Homo-oligomer: A and B are copies of this chain.
Amino acid sequence: MSDSTARPLDGMLEQIRAFVRHELGPLEARFLAEPFRALLPAMEEARGRVKALGLWAPHLPREEGGRGLSLAEFGRVSEELGRSPLGHLAFNCQAPDIGNMELLHAHASPALRERWLGPLVRGEVRSCFAMTEPEHAGSNPVHLSTTARREGDEYVIDGHKWFTSSADGAAFAIVMAVTDPDAPKPHARASQILVPAGTPGFRIVRNIPVMGDVGEDYFSHADVRFEGCRVPVENRIGAQGAGFLLAQERLGPGRIHHCMRWIGVCERAFDLMCRRAAERELAPGEPLASRQAVQHWIAESRAEIDAARLMTLDTAERIDRGGVREARVQISTIKFFVAGVLGRVLDRALQVHGALGMTDDLLLAFWYRHERGARIYDGPDEVHKSVVAREVLKGYGVDIGI
């Protein structure tokens, strides 16, 4: 990676890396073995130390207490944090809160911002984002059933969402719901509405058991119902019908965050793989590293991770320079490219660990299970590939109409 990066960022990255290793590392064994709520006090303490170090929510502008990083710069932070499953949460830049912060910051009314954004930024509360629905393919986001019918000064929300990550324990949800079913353009039918936890008619049915974990608190994916759930019209974020526009806007930075987090996961897995290859002996004096298959996995992983990072940072720089629209082909490209690298690197690292890799004593099995979702969430790889092809083929005078 480029050495030309400004030194101040490098210093911060080193500081973060050290914190992740020395302060969060010791919590990881507990993370793997205990229910997540048992870790909350320790996490709270860690978050306090992050604040004390001035590293809190570094994605935020300086005036809001952050570090005013560009997207490409925050991407590098995200990689460092991604080396631990606890990294982003400790620094208060975890999805979906980080996206909700950006959204509220840019589009919410002053009243909403004061009531909800402040506590979120300060890490006093968490939030969730209710978009995906079980009855509709996530790859077609305009295909929604949840409705928000206007009645006087209220929206009455009805619908069924799932994979609403981190809903368990969240102070509020931001819900995507159809407010204008008759709008001629399908993309102008939905709005985003903030629903406080505890609002009657807003119910978490269950935390969906995912890949062996029921999950709880931050680490959970809820099945959520809205049943005649009423919120004041002022709880809408942005203009009515602008729901998809806002969702699109969040997608570019969100993609960078995810991809760089995945790269952090890859680097950690790579480190575990190399360490194991160096230490595990097949026979006295013959480490696993002496096997060419293992060597080639290391080399291929090194190449792919480096490529993934260059691709993602290049995309982040494009967004920094020209905005999300300019970079939309790259934003789709890194989705499937980096998710593919992630899957292969985790698979190789696990294989090098043999039976140990199958256990929940290491992070590998956790990531192997949960990061399988990387090829699915935010639109499956297949959709993003067709989007890239669609854009490329426009230049050849053909519209593939997807």
Interface residues of A (CB under 8 A from B): 1-3, 32-33, 132, 134, 137-140, 143, 162-163, 208-213, 274-275, 277-278, 280-283, 287-296, 298-300, 302-304, 306-308, 310-311, 314, 317-318, 321, 329-330, 332-333, 336-337, 350-351, 354-361, 365, 368-369, 372-373, 375-377, 380-382, 384-390, 392-393, 395-398, 400
Contact = CB atoms under 8 A, between A and B. Distances in A.
7 contacts: A3-B318, A210-B360, A211-B360, A212-B212, A292-B293, A299-B387, A299-B392
A298 B329 CA distance: 12
B211 A358 contact: yes
B388 A140 contact: no
A176 to B, nearest CB: 15
Contact of A365 (B162, B210, B350, B400): B210
Q: Say whether chain A's binding surface is mostly helix, strand, loop, or mixed.
A: helix
Nearest to A162: B355
Contact of A392 (B302, B372, B384, B392): B302
A204 B369 CA distance: 27
Nearest to A387: B299
Q: Give how many copies assemble into the complex.
A: 4
A292 B291 contact: yes
Contact of A356 (B1, B134, B287): B134
A382 B292 CA distance: 9
Nearest to A377: B355
B293 A293 contact: yes
B303 A333 contact: yes
A303 B336 contact: yes
A247 to B, nearest CB: 17
Nearest to A365: B211
A110 B377 CA distance: 59
Contacts of A291: 292, 382
A378 to B, nearest CB: 11
A396 B277 contact: yes
Contacts of A310: 307, 310-311, 314
B385 A300 contact: yes
Contact of A360 (B143, B209, B274, B307): B209
A96 to B, nearest CB: 15
Given A299-B387, A307-B310, 9 more contacts: A1-B314, A138-B354, A140-B282, A208-B359, A210-B365, A211-B369, A289-B398, A295-B400, A358-B372
